[in-house]
Amino acid sequence: MALDYQTSREFVTVRIAGQLCGALVSEIREVFAPQAITAVPLARPEIAGLLNLRGRIVTVVDARIRLGLPPRDPEAPCMSLGLERGAELFGVLVDEVGEVLRLGQDTFEPVPAHLDPRWRSLLSGVHRLETELLAILDMDRLIAADMAMAA
């Protein structure tokens, strides 16, 4: 069944601690393999650090920690979604980057009410895929500065 171009949207899929998540392609500037992250002492735990991307400084946020998931194995590979917000660059660390999917409104569900507060504030919805659920990440909230942790 052909998807209606108007109402469907494209998502880049990523895997974070086994969970399949997606982000709107329009919000993502690029995907890159993070190199040489400089740690920032005193920063919040979800800030993995800073890195140099073609001469620009990128603030790197670890999605796992942001979502309250266990930290990844230091040896394990990871990828980063690059975003631009105003004049600042951000990178969101994920375990793997998958394919781009075009999904329509028919598979979309609002965020389940019984989800824990943290996830509830970071997701903008869920898409029902054939074999699993795709959690749609609200990237703005993910990298937001004043992250009020819900009690």
Q: Which residues bind other proteins (CB under 8 A)?
A: 36, 38-44, 47, 49-52, 55, 57, 59, 61, 88, 90, 143, 145
H or E element in which residue 47 lies:
strand 47-53
The residue (of 43 and 100) whose beta carbon lies closer to other proteins is 43
The residue (of 36 and 151) whose beta carbon lies closer to other proteins is 36
Q: How far is 87 from 96, CA to CA, in rounded Å?
A: 27
3-state per-residue secondary structure call for 64-123: HHHCCCCCCCCCCCCEEEEEEECCEEEEEEECEEEEEEEECHHHEECCCCCCCHHHHHHE
Contact 64, 137 (CB under 8 A): no
The residue (of 68 and 112) whose beta carbon lies closer to other proteins is 68
| Shortest reach from residue 66's CB to other proteins, in Å | 11
The residue (of 55 and 77) whose beta carbon lies closer to other proteins is 55
| Shortest reach from residue 104's CB to other proteins, in Å | 34
H or E element in which residue 139 lies:
helix 139-142
| Shortest reach from residue 142's CB to other proteins, in Å | 11
| Shortest reach from residue 132's CB to other proteins, in Å | 31
